[in-house]
Amino acid sequence: MKIALLGYGKMGKIIEKIALDRKHEIVLKIDYDNQHELTTENLQKADVAIEFSTPATVLSNIDHCFKAGVPIIVGTTGWYEQLTEIKQRYEASDNAFIYATNFSVGVNIFFHLNKVLAKLMNKHPYYEVQVEEIHHTQKLDSPSGTAITIAEGIIENLDAKRQWVNILTDINNPADDNAKVEDVLIESYRIDSVPGTHTVIYDSEVDTIEIKHTAHNRNGFALGAVLAAEWLPGKKGFFSVADMFDLS
């Protein structure tokens, strides 16, 4: 396949290596210093685009791919207030789009486990639940998109929960917990050189149940994005990563 990389930071470079290892070709690399090369003509040299840029540039990159008719995989988070609009646009077109808060195979298995556990815990309301997420200090959004997906999976399956709330805090000086009973609290920590750790905690007076996913590096995220790039061409419409992984 011929792949365009929209965003060529740490993730973009790892995606490039994995794509080349899987015998694909990178035909376009766009970063902040060569935005002028993001043209319809250049995009149409690619079979698919993989987008890992920033919340400030992702919507423009999506628009460029839509106009060029190039399928796009979007791993950037922090833009989901526009999700409904993007979904309607792609569902009404012949273009193809897939997004995820996290493309890692392991994380998507974790998402599924989180929902199964929440369904079981719905019968045991004396447990209180919260989510903790830890990322590197360069991460721009808080909470992480992955943590939001986890919290939404809990809300979907726990009758007592209605919404999530976030606290960005210091691991040495925890913030006060002002979450209401109907809230799922997400505690966010930013620590140097942490690719991503997510923990779901059910706590009661007698015991604690935890499930946890720890990323050792960014390779799992990058591999998942390349797998999505291999899966998307030939399809039409709007997809989430759940459509790609069979976790039934």
174-198: pLDDT as tens digits? 555 666 889 999 999 988 888 889 9
Which residue matches tokens 């291999």? 230
Give the model's pLDDT for residue 248: 57
Q: Which pTM was predicted? A: 0.82
110-147: pLDDT as tens digits? 999 999 999 999 999 999 999 999 988 777 678 988 99
- Catalytic residue, from 24, 64, 135, 161: name it: 135
pLDDT band at 172 (very low <50, low <70, confident <90, very high): low
Residue 234: count other Cβ atoms within 10 Å of its Cβ.
Answer: 8
Query: How far apart are the C-alpha atoms of 62 and 74, rounded to whole Å?
Result: 8
Give the model's pLDDT for residue 16: 98
- Catalytic residue, from 139, 161, 198, 213: name it: 139
| Closest to 80 (Cα-Cα) out of 105, 49, 101, 50 | 101
Give the model's pLDDT for residue 36: 95
Residue 170 has pLDDT above 80, yes or no: no
Give the model's pLDDT for residue 141: 72
Q: Please confirm, yes or no, whether 139 is among the known catalytic residues.
A: yes
Query: How far apart are the C-alpha atoms of 223 and 187, rounded to whole Å?
Result: 27
Q: Please confirm, yes or no, whether 135 is among the known catalytic residues.
A: yes
